[in-house]
């Protein structure tokens, strides 16, 4: 039996905003090819936790390591270089750029300037762009500005941009927000496929979506992780039922 390496390790992270403790002494870990769901109602601190992991808001205390490399205080560029990619809650794509340009922006991010300047046309990476666009059903829209895409397509575009760079850790903040049930199903398939190459953290408030998809789930409430386990364990956990499920 192969032992899976620990990919992301978050140890005793606390984040304070003045006197407000948004995340209190929270720990979690993700192994290779594992999908972890971070579940919690609005204001439970799961977004703050995600921001601490991705480097948007540095934690007040605690330690975050990626492949045994400490990244707690590293900036987003360094984290991207270490193999982290993110999809934000509201799709942050380049609305005025075409779908092709958007994917290229992600693909070329780590190339040197001189390599970029030498490449006079935007035709580079064409094969990879077409491959991704086909996978995410965007192939017919490559030439369209991203602002003309539907809401669900914009989400897919951002996920495809994150997957494009073959990240080792993929952070997805509410990947299906505002999607139709059919689009959700399709998204689940795409995420499952991406997990063949990466560990994935999904932040959600909808248990139904992630219980099918995730290997493990951690539940946050008032800034603390109140339960962790398999989807079945989480669903039957009385504490989770009390603080979370009954309120939905």
What is the footprint of another protein within residues 161-200 (CB under 8 A)?
Answer: 161, 165
Q: Which distant-in-sequence residues (6+ apart) come within 8 Å of 136 by Cβ?
A: 156, 157, 159, 160, 190
Min CB(75)–another protein separation in Å: 7
Does 111 contact another protein by CB under 8 A? yes
Does 75 contact another protein by CB under 8 A? yes
| Ordered alpha helix ranges (H), 55-206 | 76-81, 99-107, 113-118, 126-135, 151-164, 181-194
Kindly report the backbone phi and psi dihedral angles of residue 14, in degrees, each rounded to the nearest multiple of 5, phi listed first: -125, 135
Min CB(127)–another protein separation in Å: 16
d(CA 24, CA 238): 22
Residue whose CB is less far from another protein, 109 or 144 = 109
Stretch that binds another protein, among 31-39, 107-115, 178-186, 204-212 (CB under 8 A): 107-115
Kindly report the backbone phi and psi dihedral angles of residue 184, in degrees, each rounded to the nearest multiple of 5, phi listed first: -60, -45
Positions of E strands within the chain = 6-17, 20-31, 35-39, 61-66, 69-70, 84-87, 169-173, 199-204, 216-221, 224-229
Min CB(236)–another protein separation in Å: 37
Stretch that binds another protein, among 65-73, 112-120, 177-185, 234-242 (CB under 8 A): 112-120
Count Cβ atoms below 10 Å from residue 204 Cβ, excluding itself. 23
Count Cβ atoms below 10 Å from residue 14 Cβ, excluding itself. 16
Residue whose CB is less far from another protein, 123 or 241 = 123
Q: Which of 12, 61, 77, 236 binds another protein (CB under 8 A)?
A: 77
Min CB(108)–another protein separation in Å: 5
Interaction site with another protein (CB under 8 A)? 54, 56, 75-77, 80-81, 85-86, 92, 94, 96-97, 101, 104-106, 108-111, 113, 115-122, 124, 161, 165
């Amino acid at each position: 039996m192969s032992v899976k390496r620990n990919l992301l390790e978050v140890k005793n992270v606390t984040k304070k905003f003045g006197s407000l403790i948004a995340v209190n002494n929270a720990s979690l870990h993700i192994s290779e090819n594992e999908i972890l769901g971070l579940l919690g109602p609005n204001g439970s601190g799961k977004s703050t936790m995600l921001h601490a992991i991705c480097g948007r808001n540095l934690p007040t205390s605690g330690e975050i390591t990626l492949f045994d490399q400490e990244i707690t205080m590293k900036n987003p560029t360094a984290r991207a270089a270490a193999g982290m990619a993110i999809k934000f809650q509201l799709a942050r794509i380049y609305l005025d750029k075409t779908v092709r340009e958007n994917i290229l922006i992600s693909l070329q991010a780590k190339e040197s300037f001189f390599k970029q300047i030498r490449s006079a046309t935007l035709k580079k990476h064409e094969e990879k762009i077409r491959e991704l666009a086909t996978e995410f059903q965007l192939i017919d829209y490559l030439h369209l500005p991203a602002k003309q895409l539907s809401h669900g397509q914009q989400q897919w575009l951002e996920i495809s941009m994150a997957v494009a760079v073959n990240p080792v850790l993929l952070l997805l903040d509410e990947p299906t927000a505002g999607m139709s049930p059919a689009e959700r199903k399709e998204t689940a398939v795409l995420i499952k496929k991406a997990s063949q190459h990466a560990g994935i953290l999904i932040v959600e408030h909808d248990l139904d979506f992630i219980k099918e998809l995730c290997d493990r789930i951690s539940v946050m409430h008032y800034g603390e992780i109140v339960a962790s386990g398999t989807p079945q364990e989480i669903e039957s956990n009385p504490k989770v039922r009390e603080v979370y499920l009954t309120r939905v």
